[in-house]
Amino acid sequence: MNLDKERRGKRFFSALGDIFIPLLPGFITAGLCAGVCSLLKELIPDYQSRDVLNTLITMLGMINTAFTFFLSAWVGFSASKRFGGTPILGGILGMVTTLEGINVVSEIVGLNSTGFLGYPVLQTGSGGVMAVILGAWALCNLEKLFNRILPKILRYVLTPILSFLICFIPFVFLLMPAMGFVTGLVCKAIEFLIFNDSSIVRLLTGYICAAMFLPLNLMGMHFALIPIYALELETFGHISLIPVIAMAGASQVGAGFCVILKSARVRNDALKANAIAGIIPGMLGIGNPLMYGVSLPHFKVFISACIGAGFGGAFMVLMHVFASGWGPSGLLALPLMTAGRGSALHSMLFYFLGLCLSCAAGFITTLFLVPAKELRD
């Protein structure tokens, strides 16, 4: 029974990855465009008086808006493809959630009253990407049902229209409000933890999130964070978790530097070579070489990297460093870290300092927690 539950859990997280990973180039492109846009506006305040620069900034903003505004449509398209349905129908379902017509319908049927969390029961964007994923799943199952029961000659015309119309009404009036309540709870939780007046709460939030990311990554559960990234981007216009969890990779780099010194002392040339090979990719946000070549074979190194990551995560939350999109990690993510409370340059600087802090913390915790003799074999 437990094995079946574990397999179902893995399939669920795998499905989330299959839905969102094809969208990664869009997240990267939109995020980098938004980051460069913010940076140019800050560096050149009178950009509107310069035609070429104003045109460039406007076009970069259009690229970012084209992805983020219709994110639900892209998710619906990808989800329907993953669930074996017609991708364009999932895209239409997702796009509907972004239209002003949802507010009109909400007012007509009386669902525009403020709910428990202070949001209207039904409004444009209610439920976000999670509502779209569940709606696409239901839509795909209806398509499969009609493809089984309808004569072949009628499937091409009747299957899409019947599936969509039958799915659409409960999607708007039931699923969107229900998932809107769930996503509202998530947003309230993020606001409470990340923007709390208490520095202690913010520090603990950042520390725990960063310290837990490597274990989540190891178990494949990091895919469960992707809908939260999308939800934050839709709701707040930035992502608070990205800079926090990026600290895990930086801490692992620091642990790797310490392992190089300790493995040289005990003459473990193979481990030293693995650590050296993993350092540069680790700095660029690719942590698997260090994780599988260094940290996991020597589990105390893995634990020390998790402990060290927390310090950088706490610093990110304390400094209110936010990402403008989702994409690369490590040093490559610097252009994305422009959405903090301060200026874009300050946000990027604090992110870089956080990477340095995590790297140093990973080095120091490994230095004290991992005896050199344990790296001999």
- Better-predicted residue by pLDDT, 304 or 51: 304
**Beta-bridge partner residues of 114:** 120
The mean pLDDT value for 289-300 works out to 82
pLDDT tens digits along 79-94: 999 999 999 999 999 9
Report pTM. Answer: 0.74
Measured between alpha carbons, how far apart are the two ends of the chain, in Å?
Answer: 38
Q: Distance between CA atoms of 158 and 171, rounded to whole angstroms?
A: 19
At 170-217, the pLDDT tens digits run: 999 999 888 888 877 877 787 788 777 788 888 998 999 899 888 887
Backbone conformation region of residue 285, classed left if phi is above 0, alpha if psi is from -120 to 50, else beta? left
**Confidence band (pLDDT; 50, 70, 90) for 333?**
confident
154 pLDDT more than 70: yes
Rounded mean pLDDT of 349-375? 91
Reduce the DSSP state of residue 112 to 3 states and report it.
Answer: coil
Residue 1: pLDDT band with limits 50, 70, 90 = very low
pLDDT tens readout for residues 234-276: 777 788 888 998 999 899 999 999 999 998 888 888 888 888 8
- Measured between alpha carbons, how far is 127 from 134 in angstroms, rounded to an integer? 10
